[in-house]
Structure formats: structure tokens, C-alpha cells
Amino acid sequence: MQRRTIIAGAAATAGAALRPIRRARAATTIQLWHVFNLETEVYMREGVKSFNAARSDARIEERIIPFAQYRTELVRAVATGDTPDICCIDNPDTASFAS
């Protein structure tokens, strides 16, 4: 065997050993809470469907909460440490949740 062949083979083996192994990962789940449930407010649901169709590495799970219960649910979530990844907050409530 020639010296060049041995060196090339060793380099190829070392390169293959150092290459990271790609593993299939489960899609990341993103929790989204909102109050948009009227037929005139389909843009939120359509956006979620579009996002989920376009991405295989992430998926949005939406939870639609009635407006009258929304603030209470968010306060409960913050108190228990079980908050969603994304939530919509009404302008008057922004300051109270920011603190």
C-alpha cells in the first residue's frame, strides 16, 4: 500500500468518526392560548393551520379560552407555573401581567 492511500484512509475514517450523528427528533410543541373563537376571527386558526402544515420540526397546539375566563386562566397558570409558550393579552391587562 502506498503511504498516500493509508493517510487518505485514516483521514476518511477519522472524519467519519467525528461527524455528529443526526437523530430524528420529535417536533417541538408550542402551546398557544387565545380567545379568538368567532367566525370573523378565523385568522388565528388559519395561521396555526398554515404554520403546522409548513413545519415538521414544530407544531402549535392552540387552546381557545372564552374571553370571560381568560384572565382567570392566565393568573392560575402563572401561579402554578404552568404557563403557555404564547398567549394573547388584552391591552388593559398588559401592565398587570408585565409585573
> 60-92 pLDDT, tens per residue?
999 999 999 999 999 999 999 999 999 998 888
Rounded Cα distance between 80 and 61, Å, is: 20
Q: Give the model confidence (pLDDT) of 28-67 as tens digits.
A: 999 999 998 887 788 888 999 999 999 999 999 999 999 9
Q: DSSP letter string over 6-63?
A: HHHHHHHHHHHHHSPPP---PPEEEEEEE---SGGGTHHHHHHHHHHHH-SSEEEEEE
1 pLDDT above the threshold of 80:
no
- Domain 23-98 sits in which CATH superfamily? Periplasmic binding protein-like II (3.40.190.10)
**Confidence (pLDDT) at 24:** 60
**Confidence (pLDDT) at 14:** 46
Q: What is the pTM of this model?
A: 0.68
DSSP label at 88? Answer: -
